[in-house]
Structure 1
């Protein structure tokens, strides 16, 4: 579809909007799952939620790969990815902001006892958080 719509003048814009809406839905689902765990399941709201941060990072990795591979790194789709992440990463759940959760995750992986990761894995996680924060606009 990408190759077909790229031949039409302004044909990729509607496609990019659809991709953006899809990414927003997926991201809002991650946000809603955290909200459900806190409010409905009674999970304690702390500034440590590595599963939530890992879910955001995984979602970002997935769609960066899609934009780069399937949409040939087209700037419209990179913009759609960025705008989608701005929408849902800036939705805070509970008493802690998502930025606090990301920084706590980084702090945890940098400490010796927090996560059992090698140097390369720590660097990889930190790079992903940096990219995710840049996409999120905070």
Structure 2
């Protein structure tokens, strides 16, 4: 799994227990999935269709740094299915896993549209370096 983004847990990210608020973490995951999908499909018009059950296995506290990892599970006709792991950079413990996040590619009319992608592409591959 490639870990693309790091977030610093700040006071505004905490729940009443003094640990990372799950809703904040889910928002970070959703944003990361959208950014990843936008880059892979080369289209900024994407939406989250589905997120499977989530499994919190540990937490983070103020001052910790968390890393968000995304991998592609499969490419559909108009969708891409991702998996996600978030880990605490300080302790290396997994905080949460999400087995399936389905992101949908939209056309100019706002409806699902084929994206024509079948494999992960890296920017260096697109540039022909």
Q: TM-score scaled to structure 1, two decimals?
A: 0.30
Larger relative CO (CA 8 A, sep 6+): 1 or 2?
A: 1
Higher helix share: 1
Higher strand share: 2
- State the structure with more CA Rg: 1
